[in-house]
């Protein structure tokens, strides 16, 4: 295999066991997830990595110092599981930690970086999530990640390196130099509107560090958890999960599903499989979007935000976020704020519904319900294109 190839040209997409299952993982669950990925269209939509998080490990290393698996949970073994995932055309991910123990207390990779990287490569691992618990004194975070980054490269196998450093040492500034393809920028997400928004807010200012093969990671998705599972915390409505997904798409964030896809509702699938939103996330230009005029980390009182994300075909994704729980609001995106000339006609497509909105010059607006989002694709048109201004759509709006 060619280890020089770009491993994460667009934000990685997949599933991780932690948010819903925590310690309750086994090989049947992981195989079921792979089967669902194929059967229910996740694979076709771009979801690729099936990742087991902490608590796959045995309590101790083998006599010759290698990591090994919990045989109660994985009786057929991790290599056989990796083979199974590969047989479905998917990729297999695993978890370890840069300290002396994993966050859940299992053996971790400090001092064993090379042997563990080699073990993972031999098992057929394609993705390593690398945590930050039980860090030894006197060693810096960047050094710990650089060691594993080097060890993974030395195996010759393309292994996506996901640095789970929680933003402690500002990994956006050094992650790609340590060999990481994505790095957590915050502590753990839980399944609540406040947690989700609080994490999204912290991405402001990190845009310049993101790009092909190097992504800011605001943590795994909680879409579809509905207040159940390991990271449960009250849950959200479907519309709120749609806002969560839209934010992660505009942020060019990795899209790691955290819910139980075996039991996903129709609404959950509509969100996670929305082609328009995913196309924004996966756009090859790899720009991390941001709010127009909201470039700080304090969203206090900034309930109505218009975001832009330039795309590779010269169009611009525009998201109108209503973070207010009580009031609907009409929001405006002026061309000037999108770096489009005022008089340039632009076609506008609603990315959620895939419906044409019209052809506009100067600006486009959207009416957005409480805790909802509207996402458009604004595409510059020939200068003689006919302008078809339409009234702001108020579908679904009760008396507003």
Which residues are known catalytic residues?
131, 188
Of the pair 190, 333, the CB lying nearest ligand GLA is at: 190
Q: Considering beta carbons, is residue 53 or 361 the nearer one to ligand GLA?
A: 53
Least separation in angstroms between CB 320 and ligand GLA: 31
We find the least distance from the C-beta atom of residue 52 to ligand GLA, in angstroms, to be 10
What does the buried/exposed string (b/e) look like for 23-40 if buried means 16 or more CB atoms within 10 Å of the residue's CB? eebbbebbbebbebbeeb
Maximal C-alpha separation, the chain: 75
Of the pair 170, 279, the CB lying nearest ligand GLA is at: 170
Percentages of the chain per state (helix, strand, coil), in multiples of 5: 30, 20, 50
Pairing status of strand 91-97 against strand 49-51: parallel
Residue 28: CB partners within 8 Å, gap ≥ 6?
Answer: none
29-37 contacts at long range (C-beta below 8 A, 24 or more positions apart): 30/81, 30/85, 31/81, 31/84, 31/85, 32/262, 33/261, 33/262, 34/84, 34/85, 34/88, 34/90, 35/88, 36/261, 36/262, 37/88, 37/90, 37/261
Q: Which of 226, 238, 232 is nearest to 263 (CA)?
A: 226
Closest to ligand GLA by CB, 8 or 199:
199
Where does 136-224 show beta strands of DSSP type E? 160-163, 182-184, 215-217
The residue ranges that bind ligand GLA (CB under 6 A) are 18, 53-54, 102-104, 131, 164, 188
Nearer to ligand GLA, 161 or 277 (CB): 161
Q: Which of 149, 116, 35 is nearest to 81 (CA)?
A: 35
Distance (Å, rounded) from C-alpha 47 to C-alpha 45?
A: 6
Q: Cα separation of 277 and 11, whole Å?
A: 13
Nearest to ligand GLA of 53, 372 (CB atom): 53
Q: How far is the CB of 374 from ligand GLA (least distance, A)?
A: 31
Q: How many whole angstroms separate alpha carbon 160 and alpha carbon 129? A: 8
**Alpha-carbon gap, residue 19 to 81, rounded angstroms:** 21
């Amino acid at each position: 295999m060619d280890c020089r190839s770009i491993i994460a040209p667009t934000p990685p997409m997949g599933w991780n066991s932690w948010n819903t299952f925590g310690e309750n993982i086994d090989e049947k669950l992981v195989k079921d997830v792979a089967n669902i990925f194929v059967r229910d269209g996740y694979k076709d939509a771009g979801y690729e990595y099936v990742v087991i998080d902490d608590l796959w490990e045995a309590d101790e290393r083998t006599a010759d110092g290698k990591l090994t698996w919990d045989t109660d949970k994985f009786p057929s073994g991790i290599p056989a599981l990796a083979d199974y995932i590969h047989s479905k055309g998917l990729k297999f991910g695993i978890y370890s930690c840069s300290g002396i123990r994993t966050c859940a207390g299992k053996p971790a990779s400090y001092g064993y970086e090379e042997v563990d990287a080699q073990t993972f490569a031999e098992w057929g691992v394609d993705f390593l999530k690398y945590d930050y618990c039980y860090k030894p004194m006197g060693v810096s975070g960047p050094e710990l990640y650089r060691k594993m980054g080097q060890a993974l490269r030395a195996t010759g196998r393309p292994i996506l390196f996901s640095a789970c450093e929680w933003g402690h040492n500002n990994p956006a500034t050094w992650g790609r130099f340590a060999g990481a393809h994505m790095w957590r920028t915050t502590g753990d997400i839980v399944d609540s509107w406040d947690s989700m928004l609080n994490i999204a807010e912290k991405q402001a200012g990190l845009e310049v560090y993101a790009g092909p093969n190097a992504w800011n990671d605001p943590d795994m998705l909680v879409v579809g958890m509905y207040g159940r599972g390991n990271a449960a915390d009250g849950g959200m409505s479907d519309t709120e999960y749609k806002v969560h997904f839209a934010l992660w798409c505009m942020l060019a964030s990795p899209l790691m599903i955290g819910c139980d896809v075996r039991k996903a509702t129709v609404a959950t699938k509509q969100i996670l499989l929305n082609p328009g939103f995913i196309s924004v996330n996966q756009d090859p230009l790899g720009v991390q979007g941001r709010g127009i005029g909201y470039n700080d980390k304090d969203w206090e009182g900034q309930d109505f935000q218009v975001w832009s994300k330039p795309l590779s075909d010269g169009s611009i994704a525009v998201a109108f976020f209503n973070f207010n729980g009580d009031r609907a609001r009409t929001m405006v995106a002026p061309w000037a704020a999108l770096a489009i000339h005022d008089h340039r006609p632009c076609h506008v497509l609603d990315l959620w519904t895939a419906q044409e909105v019209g052809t506009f010059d100067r600006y486009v607006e959207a009416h957005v319900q409480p805790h909802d989002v509207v996402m458009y694709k604004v595409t510059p048109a020939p200068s003689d294109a006919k302008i078809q201004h339409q009234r702001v759509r108020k579908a679904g709006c009760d008396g507003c």
